[in-house]
Amino acid sequence: MSDVVSRPYYCWPTTRDTLTPQNVALVDLNDTLIDGLCCRPWTFLPGVVEATRLLVRTCGWRMAIVTQQPPAYWGEGHDSTDALAWVVSIRRALAEQADLLPADIYINFCSHDPMSGCRCHKPEPGLLREAMEDAGGKLDQVWMIGDKWSDVMAGHNAGIKTCAVGDFGYVQKGTTPLPEGLKPPHLWVPDFATAVRIITSEVLV
Check residue 108 for interaction with Mg ion (CB under 5 A): no
Query: Distances in Å between the alpha carbon of 112 and those of 28, 78, 102?
Result: 16, 14, 24
Instruction: Give the span between the Cα atoms of 120 and 16, in whole angstroms.
Output: 30
Residue 124 interacting entry, from Zn ion, Mg ion, none, C-beta within 5 to 8 Å by type: none
One residue of 83, 90, 120, 153 binding Zn ion per CB under 5 A: 120
Measured at the CA of 105, the angle between CA 104 and CA 111, to 5 degrees, comes to 145
Q: Closest approach of Cβ 57 to Mg ion, in Å?
A: 24
Rule CB under 5 A: is residue 67 a binding residue for Mg ion?
no
- Which residues are 27's β-sheet partners? 65, 145
Question: Taking CB under 5 A as the rule, does residue 31 contact Mg ion?
Answer: yes
Task: Decide if residue 87 touches Zn ion (CB under 5 A).
Answer: no
User: What, of Mg ion, Zn ion, none, does residue 120 touch, CB below 5 to 8 Å by kind?
Assistant: Zn ion
Closest separation in Å from C-beta 146 to Zn ion: 16
Q: Is residue 28 a contact residue for Mg ion (CB under 5 A)?
A: yes
Spatial contact of 107 and 94, defined as CB atoms under 8 Å apart: no
Q: What are the residues whose beta carbons fall under 8 Å from the beta carbon of 38, sequence distance 6 or more? A: 30, 69, 73, 74, 75, 78, 83, 86
* 147 contacts Mg ion (rule: CB under 5 A): yes
Does 26 participate in binding Mg ion (rule CB under 5 A)?
Answer: no
Nearest approach, Cβ of residue 157 and Mg ion (Å): 17
